[in-house]
Chain A
């Protein structure tokens, strides 16, 4: 069976502040540094969504529009031009690190997945220098 992986890249911008109630103000400062600044700050995030599966009769692994619509409705609508700490329910009680952001995005996609190929992986860049990735098991 001919199987491939397709990756599509999306962009969103959001603000956040790293802080946890489990630590004192001073400890938060030490652990998160600048990311703990009191009024928050923002990033232009880059998200890569990878899907894997066989090529259909139409020569495609997935219809581009179906993948784009799923990501737009379930991920970008939730996160783009939002404050992650206050606007996004998935972060209640969780620090808005990019690690946790990856988990929120993965949960959103898995919960609403309607596509034939499987969700194979995610990569999220907070800045061009920091990238976090998750790889699903085969």
Chain B
């Protein structure tokens, strides 16, 4: 069974490679390369896969998941300038693709660090990140596809 928890954060970013000229960056990233930055209301959907625990009826404790998302994503990223305030985006372009990969890495690490009883065999199955209502990426982890 899949369980999905949603969270929102708002952040600004610049999609540009500092090694390239402004014209090159415009060609690759379009208006996202604006050197002064711009922002989005990101919507994150994190999906876990597992079986409901026979005693609790739950795949995973939603409060725990909420706490992990707050600590790993919302607290460090909400109302921040990703390139300037949120490593590794000081050195990696904060495209929605790279942001989804980084969120996977952070959440997956936390889930794996939990005691086995708390993990309940659940695993991170998908990270969906909406940059706008009309554009999103799905990432199923390094082993997927």
Contact = CB atoms under 8 A, between A and B. Distances in A.
Q: How large is the interface on A (under 10, 10 to 19, 20 to 34, 35 or more residues)?
A: 20 to 34
B97 interface: yes
Scoring B96, B97, B136 by chain A CB atoms within 10 A of each residue's CB, the highest score goes to B97
Contact of B28 (A2, A5, A7, A60): A60
B92 A4 contact: no
B30 A60 contact: no
Contacts of A65: 30
Contacts of B29: 58, 60, 63
Interface string B76-108: 000000000000000011111110110000000
A9 B133 contact: yes
A100 B107 CA distance: 41
Contacts of A8: 134-135
Contacts of B137: 4-7, 61
Scoring A10, A58, A61 by chain B CB atoms within 10 A of each residue's CB, the highest score goes to A58
B41 to A, nearest CB: 16
Nearest to B145: A3
B142 interface: yes
Contacts of B30: 63-65
B100 A4 contact: yes
A58 B93 contact: yes
A58 B95 CA distance: 9
A52 interface: yes
A10 B139 CA distance: 21
A1 B139 CA distance: 12
A30 to B, nearest CB: 38
Contact of A6 (B28, B93, B136, B142): B136
Contact of A64 (B133, B135, B139): B135
B135 A59 contact: no
A61 B91 CA distance: 18
B101 to A, nearest CB: 6
B74 to A, nearest CB: 22
Nearest to B100: A4
B80 to A, nearest CB: 18
B15 to A, nearest CB: 7
B94 to A, nearest CB: 8
A64 B144 CA distance: 23
A8 B96 CA distance: 12
Contacts of B134: 8-10
Interface of A: 1-10, 52, 55, 58-61, 63-65, 138
12 contacts: A4-B97, A4-B139, A6-B97, A7-B138, A8-B134, A55-B98, A55-B101, A58-B93, A59-B94, A59-B95, A63-B30, A64-B30
